[in-house]
DNA sequence: ACCGCACCCTGAGCGC
DNA sequence: TGCGCTCAGGGTGCGG
């Protein structure tokens, strides 16, 4: 997915499309793994609700509704949230043979992967949530209802402090990459930005977390904040499915140093970037200048 | 408490 | 063309 930068870019673009508007008809697909709240209940309880604010915590979006309810959204791996009128080939299921519909017929039409359609009382643009793999999540929290998923999250990665990272890693013998992916340690870093931050901080992803020095943790925390901020500024990474709510691609994929660059020369020392598996996730790094 | 792994689901790309 | 395999920005739940 969508990691913190993509979720934050989504939040910023979605905010004016949601906040202040009142939901009318809500359509869903049928019950699945995707719906933490049963779809029939979602349809019933969302109708007439007004959106007061749109927030982000880690990789979660939280729409504050009137009546003190909250709608949790998570994009999973292939989630896309966008407004009616967005056009992008990423929003179309490729047909057998991969032929694209002709220009002019590429306007999005809700398909079998469009699990949530939000329509509004003002009859303005609808908002869609599409997710091919259904690893995304939707949940409606009643007034005062706690969410174990949110309660588990560590500090937001945009604000992570080096001293906190140092403290959190002391008892962790797992590779530092594994610990960066742990949302209880810091919320928002995923596979791309873990690799990118470790590359930029020149720390090997295979290092045992508890072997990092205090100075390395400070450097790593700074680098994490910097790479996330930079990605947000460029609109996030559009690598396979991610699109912004207006349908446009982000641009951070063009600035990647390590992720997905197996075999290409390291930008610092020209050694070929290596790919290994850590925590069953593909991990890209320079074996020479990351120590 | 921590660690690694299987699993949730669908589609694309590859070699044969 | 078709089949079988591997891979993919995530997270949970399990047993060791």
pLDDT, residue A262, reads: 95
A259 CA to C13 C1' distance (Å): 29
A117 CA → B3 C1’, Å:
40
C-alpha to C-alpha distance for A280 and A282, rounded to whole angstroms: 7
pLDDT of residue A260: 95
**Is the pLDDT reported for residue A1 higher than 80?**
no
State the nucleotide closest to A241 in CA–C1' terms.
Answer: C9
Tell me whether residue A2 is one of the annotated catalytic residues.
yes
List, in order, residues 6 or more apart from A35 with CB less than 8 Å away: A28, A42, A115, A138
A178 strand B contact, CB < 7 Å: yes
Closest nucleotide (C1' vs CA) to A208 is: B3
Q: Is A59 a catalytic residue?
A: yes
CA-closest candidate to residue A131, choices A176, A194, A206, A74:
A74
SS3 A11: helix
Percent of chain A at pLDDT > 90 equals 93
Confidence of residue A14 (pLDDT cuts 50, 70, 90): very high
Question: CA–C1' distance A134–C12 (Å)?
Answer: 14
Length A64 CA → C7 C1' (Å): 37
Measured CA to CA, the distance from residue A162 to residue A10 in angstroms comes to: 27
User: CA–CA separation, A166 vs A159, rounded Å?
Assistant: 14
Structure tokens at A278: 């850590």
- Mean pLDDT computed over A11-37: 97
* Identified catalytic residue from A49, A59, A119, A244: A59
Which domains occur in chain A, in start order? 4-151 (3.20.190.10), 157-285 (1.10.8.50)
Could you give the count of Cα atoms lying within 13 Å of A162 in the half-sphere of its Cβ?
14
Residues in chain A: 291
Whether the CB-CB separation of A275 and A211 falls below 8 Å is answered with no
Specify whether A196 is catalytic. Answer: no
Range A22-44 average pLDDT: 97
User: Measuring CA to CA, how many Å separate A81 from each of A90, A92, A147?
Assistant: 12, 13, 22
Work out the mean pLDDT of chain A and round it to a whole number.
Answer: 95
C-alpha A29/C-alpha A214 separation (Å) is 49
Q: Of A189, A188, A193, which is closest to residue A258 (Cα–Cα)?
A: A193
Give me the pLDDT at residue A8, please.
Answer: 98
In sequence order, which residues have a C-beta less than 8 Å from that of residue A286 and are 6 or more positions away? A199, A258, A266, A268, A269, A271, A273, A274
> Cα(A6)–Cα(A90) distance, rounded to whole angstroms?
15
Predicted confidence (pLDDT) per residue in A126-165, tens digit: 999 999 999 999 999 999 999 999 999 999 999 999 999 9
Taking the whole predicted model, whether its pTM rises above 0.75 is answered as yes
A289 CA from B4 C1′ (Å)? 28
Whether pLDDT at A85 is above 80: yes
A98 confidence band (pLDDT: 50, 70, 90)? very low
Please say if the pLDDT value at position A97 is more than 50. Answer: no
Q: In chain B, which nucleotides are within 7 Å of a protein Cβ?
A: 1-13
pLDDT reported for residue A103 = 60
Active-site residue (options: A3, A6, A15, A69) = A3
Query: Beta A70-74 vs A79-83: how paired, if at all?
Result: unpaired
């Amino acid at each position: 997915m969508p990691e913190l930068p993509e979720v934050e870019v989504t939040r910023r673009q979605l905010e004016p499309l949601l906040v202040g508007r009142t939901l009318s008809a809500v359509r869903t697909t049928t019950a699945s793994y995707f719906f933490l709240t049963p779809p029939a209940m979602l349809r019933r309880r969302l109708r007439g609700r007004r959106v007061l604010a749109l927030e982000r915590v880690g990789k979660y979006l939280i729409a504050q509704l009137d009546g003190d309810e909250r709608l949790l959204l998570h994009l999973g791996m292939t989630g896309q949230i966008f407004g009616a009128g967005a056009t992008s080939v990423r929003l179309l299921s490729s047909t057998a043979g991969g032929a694209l519909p002709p220009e002019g017929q590429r306007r999005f039409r809700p398909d079998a992967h469009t699990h949530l359609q939000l329509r509004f009382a003002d009859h303005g643009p609808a908002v869609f949530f599409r997710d091919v793999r259904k690893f995304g999540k939707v949940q409606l929290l009643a007034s005062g209802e706690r969410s174990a998923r949110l309660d588990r999250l560590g500090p937001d990665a945009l604000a992570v402090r080096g001293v906190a990272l140092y403290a959190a890693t002391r008892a962790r013998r797992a590779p530092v990459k594994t610990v960066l992916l742990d949302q209880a340690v810091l919320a928002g870093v995923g596979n791309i930005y873990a690799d990118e931050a470790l590359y930029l901080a020149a720390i090997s992803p295979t290092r045992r977390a508890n072997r990092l020095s205090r100075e390395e943790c400070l450097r790593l925390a700074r680098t994490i904040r910097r790479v996330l901020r930079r990605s947000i500024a460029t609109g996030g990474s559009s690598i396979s499915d991610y699109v912004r709510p207006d349908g446009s691609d982000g641009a951070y994929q063009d600035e990647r140093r390590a992720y997905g660059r197996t075999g290409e020369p390291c930008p610092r020392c020209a050694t070929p970037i290596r790919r290994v598996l850590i925590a069953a996730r593909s991990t890209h790094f320079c074996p020479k200048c990351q120590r």
